Amino acid sequence: MRFHLKQMIGVVAVCATMGLAPAAFASSEMHGANSIEVNGQVEHVRVGETPTGVTYKLGVVTPEGQVYLLLPSSSSEAAFNTAERLAGRNEWATVTGVLVQRDGLPGLRVGQIRKT
């Protein structure tokens, strides 16, 4: 227990030295430094082939043709379910999430989604 307490004191000391409040440090970690907003159409995107058939994933395609795979987040399951319902309907949506790389492709851990 003492080791963990020493680590916490060290983190607080480093944050104080940098002028950051520990709450701000925790907040940026939760929201992710790579959080972005993407506008496009939600579609089932072909990502590969297997011996049993073609593999599709849920993605958002921007007007420029950039594809972002949509990945569920444990804290926003409802938003991902909304994305699933919008797939293939030719409707535009704005997806907000944390930018990640999955299998060499850019992806978004879905935080929010709204029709535009």
Averaged over successive runs of 10 residues, the pLDDT of the chain (116 residues) comes to 37 38 33 80 87 87 94 86 90 93 87 92
SS3 content of the chain, % helix, strand, coil (to 5): 30, 45, 25
CA-CA distance, 69 to 45, in Å (whole number)? 8
| CA dist., res. 7 & res. 3, Å (int) | 6
What the block records as the tokens of 80 is 């991902």
Bridge-partner residues for 43, per DSSP? Answer: 59
Amino acid 36: pLDDT: 93
Give, for 87, the enclosing helix (H) or strand (E).
none
Check residue 100 and give its pLDDT: 92
CATH of region 35-115, choose from 2.20.70, 1.10.3470, 1.10.357, 2.40.50: 2.40.50
- Strands 105-115 and 67-71 come out as parallel
Report residue 10: phi and psi, to 5°.
-65, -40
pLDDT for position 14: 37
Enter the pTM of the model.
0.65
Q: What is the residue extent of each domain of the chain?
A: 2-31, 35-115
